[in-house]
Amino acid sequence: MIVVLKHGVSDEKKAQLIAWLEALGLKIHISNGEFQTVLGLIGDTTSVDIDLVESLEIVDSVKRVTEPFKCCNRKFHPDDMIVEIGDVKVGGGNFVMIAGPCSVESEEQIVAVAKAVKAAGAKMMRGGAFKPRTSPYDFAGLKATGLEYLKIARQETGLPIVTELMNIMDLPLFEDVDVIQVGARNMQNFDLLRELGRMNKPILLKRGLANTLKELLMSAEYIMANGNERVMLCERGIRTFSDYTRNTLDLAAVPMLHQLTHLPIIVDPSHATGIAKLVPPMAMAATAGGADGLIIEVHNDPIHALCDGAQSLRPEEFAELADKIRAIRGVIA
C-alpha cells in the first residue's frame, strides 16, 4: 500500500502518521520526492483501514499496490534512483558506459584495456575474475589474482571496478570491489541475493537466461528487502528460438522496466548478441530506447581472448561506438 502525502506537510505530522503505521507492525519506506512524499507500507496491510487513512488531513491519496515487489516498485519511489559509485552517477538522466574484457587475463591486458576504454569515455571498467563457464574444462578466471589485477588497473585509471561474484564464500575477497555483478546464471540464487542485501555496495543484477521481468524484479527485491537499495538491473538477452544470435536482446524490457521500477537499467549488447559486429547497432538502439547505461566487452586481442572473443570489440571500435552513443544521448537527453 502507498500513502501519498499532501504537499508541504510538517515533519511532525509526518512522524506521527509513520509512528502510528509502524505500530500496526508495518515497515515504512519514505520517499521524499521533489513534489510529493510517498510512504510505502511493507508488510501485512490488511489491518489498515484505507478510508480512515485517506480521511486524514495530511493525506492526499492511498493506493493498494498489487505487485509482489515493493522496495523496487516505482509506485513506492516516483523519482528515478541514482546509484552513486564514487563520482560516477547512474540513473535519473546520468548515463554510464562500462567496458572491459569478459575475463581478466593478465595485469598487462586489464591495465591496457582499462586505459583504452577510459580514453574513449567509459566511466567504469568490467572484467571477470570468477567466470561461470558452460564447460568445466574452459578457463574459469584468475580468481583472487584477477581481482588484484583489477585493483591495479583501477589505481592506474581511477575507473571503478564491476566484477562478478559467483559464490557467497568468496564474498570477503570482494570487499574492495566497487560494484558486484550477479551473473545471469545466479539471478535466482536467493541465498546469494540475501547476503548481498546485507552489504553496503552497489549491485549489478543481470537478468537470467530465461527469466521474466517480474522474476528479475523479485530478485532485486531480495537484495533491497535486506537493506541494500543500490541495485542496477541489466538486460543481457534471453533465450528464444533465435538461431543466429547468442540470445535475443529484449529491448522492450528497458521502457517496461522504467515503468515498473525506479532502478537504473543497464543493457549488455555483448552477451545479448554474441557477435562483435552486432554490438554497436544494439548498443545504439538500447541508448535510444532509454537505457541508463551500457556494459560492453572490449578486448585488446579478441582473437586470442580466453573467453567471449567473438563478441568483444577492439578498443578502437569501442571508441568509435562511444562517439555515436554520445551523439544519440545528445539528441534524446
Per CB under 5 A, residues contacting Mn ion are 102, 308
Residue from 128, 141, 146, 280 in contact with ligand PEP (CB under 6 A): 128
Query: What x/- string results for residues 79 through 108 when contact with ligand PEP is judged by CB under 6 A?
Result: -----------------------x------
CB nearer ligand PEP, residue 26 or residue 97? 97
Residue 123 backbone phi and psi in degrees, to 5:
-105, -15
CB nearer ligand PEP, residue 79 or residue 215? 215
Measured CA to CA, the distance from residue 308 to residue 296 in angstroms comes to 11
Residue from 75, 77, 236, 299 in contact with ligand PEP (CB under 6 A): 236
Measured CA to CA, the distance from residue 211 to residue 68 in angstroms comes to 16
Residues in the chain: 333
184 binds ligand PEP (CB under 6 A): yes
Residue (of 286, 322, 329, 304) closest to 101 by Cα position? 304
What's the grid cell of residue 276? Answer: 562483435
Residue (of 263, 313, 317) closest to 292 by Cα position? 263
Cell 521524499 belongs to residue: 32
196 binds ligand PEP (CB under 6 A): no
Give the contacts of 130 (CB within 8 A, at least 6 positions apart). Answer: 140, 141, 143, 146, 163, 164, 165, 166, 167, 170
The one segment of 45-53, 74-82, 150-158, 180-188 that binds ligand PEP by CB under 6 A: 180-188
The one segment of 106-114, 151-159, 182-190, 309-317 that binds ligand PEP by CB under 6 A: 182-190
Residue from 75, 77, 154, 206 in contact with ligand PEP (CB under 6 A): 206
Residue from 40, 91, 183, 315 in contact with ligand PEP (CB under 6 A): 183
CB nearer ligand PEP, residue 2 or residue 129? 129
70 binds ligand PEP (CB under 6 A): no
Contact status, residue 187 vs residue 216, Cβ threshold 8 Å: yes
271 binds ligand PEP (CB under 6 A): yes
Residue (of 266, 331, 262, 289) closest to 99 by Cα position? 266
Q: Which residues bind ligand PEP (CB under 6 A)?
A: 102, 128, 132, 183-185, 206, 236, 271
